[in-house]
Amino acid sequence: MCHPGWQDALLAGRGQGELLELDGGQSWVRCRISSPIVTNMADTGSTTDSIVVLVSGYGSNLQALMDATADPAYGVRIAAVGADRDGIEGLARAQRAGIPTFVCRVADFATRAEWDAALASQVAAYRPRLVVLAGFLKLTGEAFLGQFGGRTVNTHPALSPSFPGIHGPQDALDYGVKVTGCTLFVVDAGVDTGPIVAQSAVSVHDDDTAEILHERIKTAERQMLVEYVGRMVRDGFSVTERKVTIS
C-alpha cells in the first residue's frame, strides 16, 4: 500500500522498490526518485553543536556517538534521542546517560502523515543542527523532510547504490559480492538514495552469515558515523546535487 501524500510507489521487484516496514498489516514501499538537495545548515536558529539521534533498536551506533560526545573536543552534543517504539535498548542507553528521550509511534496517529509531522515537531523542539538516523526503521515523510531535509543523515549497511533497504547484509551475501560496507548519506525521499557523505568497505568472508557480516559492517559503520557526524557539525557541509562537501 502506498501513502498518497508521499512519493511512494508500489513496485514489484527489489531493486526498484523495497519493502521497508510493516505497520498494522500495511506494507510500505518507496521507489527511488531523483531529489536534488541544494544546501543546509545556514538556517533556522538551530543550536550550533546539537544533534538529535533517532533509533529503533539496539543503538550501538548511538552508543558510539554518545561515547564520542563525552570528549568536549568532539564538539557535538546529543540534545535528545527519539524512537518510533518503546522498550528498546537504544532508548535505555540514552536514559542511563541522562539524555532526554521521546517516543513517537505510528500507531498513535490516525495517518502516517500526522505521525510524520509529529515526529518533525518533536525533533524541532530540540533545535538540532543535524538529525542522525541511527538504525531508525521508519521512512521520514514530507513534513519531516520539509523541515529537516538536507540536514538529516542516515547510515546504511551496504555500499550504496548497491543493496538498498533493510536487508543489505543478506542481499550482499545472496549476490555473492566479495566486498560490501556501509554508507552515510543525506536523507532524501528515496530508499537509501541520498547524496553520499562517506563510505567504508568491508570484506565478505566465505563462511559469513548475514549476522556475522552485519556485525563486521557495524564496526566500520560506527567509526564512519562518529568521524563524519563530528566533521559535519563542527565544520558544516553543503550538498549540491549529489555532491556532499564538508567545509
Catalytic residue status for 156 = yes
Q: Does 221 bind ligand GRF (CB under 6 A)?
A: yes
Residue type, 218: K
Q: Which of 35, 57, 77, 103 binds ligand GRF (CB under 6 A)?
A: 57
Cα separations in angstroms, 225 against 104, 153, 173: 24, 10, 23
Q: Which of 46, 140, 152, 155 binds ligand GRF (CB under 6 A)?
A: 155
Q: Does 191 bind ligand GRF (CB under 6 A)?
A: no
Coil/strand/helix, residue 32: coil
Tell me the closest approach of the beta carbon of residue 47 to ligand GRF, in angstroms: 24
Contact status, residue 145 vs residue 189, Cβ threshold 8 Å: yes
From the list 2-10, 107-115, 144-152, 154-162, the region that binds ligand GRF by CB under 6 A is 154-162
Coil/strand/helix, residue 112: helix
Contact status, residue 180 vs residue 213, Cβ threshold 8 Å: yes
Residue 81 DSSP symbol: E
From the list 42-50, 98-106, 139-147, 155-163, the region that binds ligand GRF by CB under 6 A is 155-163
Binders of ligand GRF in range 71-90 (CB under 6 A)? 90
Instruction: Please identify which of the residues 156, 167, 205, 214 carries the catalytic annotation.
Output: 156
Cβ closer to ligand GRF: 57 or 100? Answer: 57
Residue type, 193: T
Q: Which residue is nearest to ligand GRF (CB)?
A: 135
Q: Does 152 bind ligand GRF (CB under 6 A)?
A: no
Q: Which of 59, 82, 150, 194 binds ligand GRF (CB under 6 A)?
A: 59
Which residue, chain included where needed, has cell 570528549? 71
101-140 footprint of ligand GRF as x/- string (CB under 6 A): ---------------------------------xx-----
Chain centre to alpha carbon of residue 36: 18
Distance CA 226, CA 224 (A): 6
Could you tell me how many residues make up the chain? Answer: 247
Cell numbers representing residue 198 in the block? 562517506
Contact status, residue 194 vs residue 170, Cβ threshold 8 Å: no
Q: Does 236 bind ligand GRF (CB under 6 A)?
A: no
Q: Which residues are catalytic?
A: 156
Give the footprint of ligand GRF on this chain (CB under 6 A): 57-62, 90, 134-135, 155-157, 218, 221
